[in-house]
């Protein structure tokens, strides 16, 4: 099977695909011009706006079809950028909230908020919660799905080291050196 790709030679092909937000394939289906930006087994595509394949109208009836399509592309990309900005703000707010937690009950009650988060966000926040819990000497019990204080092992009492009553002081002789570089 042969995959249809843009007719670009050399290393320019990779550069174009890296920088382009959209790469579409124009073809005729049922005697109608169609463009599809989705990658398939038959052609290369890049679809940042998640467009479905679309029919291209007659240019005599709608001459500005592609300018409208480009506007839609820009709007979709800017919408994604705004969503990313909102997600970053949410991560910052949740991180600040986690850093102010000092009590076991605060961490455990925060765990109820995690299931409502998206998976990528949930993983980042869970890592921050675990780090904060470790700072506060709490550990997570997987069976009960709660944090508990870390049980410290009782250390054996160490007896003080006995030294002879009349221990001689060590005398260390040092040589004074001149560190002048002049």
Polymer length of the chain: 182
Query: Rounded to whole angstroms, what are the CA distances from 79 to 82, 86, 160?
Result: 5, 11, 69
Helices 65-99 and 119-135 meet at what angle, rounded to 10?
20
- The domain ranges of the chain are 84-151
> pLDDT per position in the chain (182 positions), as tens?
788 888 888 788 888 888 888 888 899 999 999 999 998 888 888 888 888 999 999 989 999 999 999 999 988 888 777 778 888 889 999 999 999 999 999 999 999 988 888 878 899 999 999 999 999 999 999 998 999 998 766 554 555 555 555 555 555 555 554 444 44
Both tokens of residue 100? 């102010």
The whole-model pTM stands at 0.47
């Amino acid at each position: 099977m042969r995959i249809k790709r843009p007719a670009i030679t050399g290393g320019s092909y990779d550069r174009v695909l890296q920088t382009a937000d959209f790469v579409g394939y124009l073809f005729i289906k049922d005697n109608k011009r169609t463009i599809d930006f989705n990658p398939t087994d038959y052609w290369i595509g890049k679809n940042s706006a998640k467009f479905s394949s679309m029919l291209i109208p007659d240019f005599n009836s709608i001459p500005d079809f592609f300018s409208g399509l480009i506007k839609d592309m820009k709007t979709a990309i800017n919408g994604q950028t705004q969503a990313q900005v909102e997600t970053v703000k949410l991560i910052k707010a949740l991180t600040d909230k986690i850093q102010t937690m000092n009590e076991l009950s605060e961490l455990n009650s925060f765990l109820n908020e995690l299931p409502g988060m998206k998976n990528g966000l949930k993983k980042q926040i869970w890592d921050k919660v675990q780090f904060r819990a470790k700072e506060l000497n709490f550990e997570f019990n997987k069976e009960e799905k709660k944090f508990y204080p870390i049980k410290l092992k009782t250390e054996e009492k160490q007896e003080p080291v006995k030294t002879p009553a009349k221990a001689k002081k060590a005398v260390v002789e040092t040589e004074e050196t001149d560190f002048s570089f002049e």
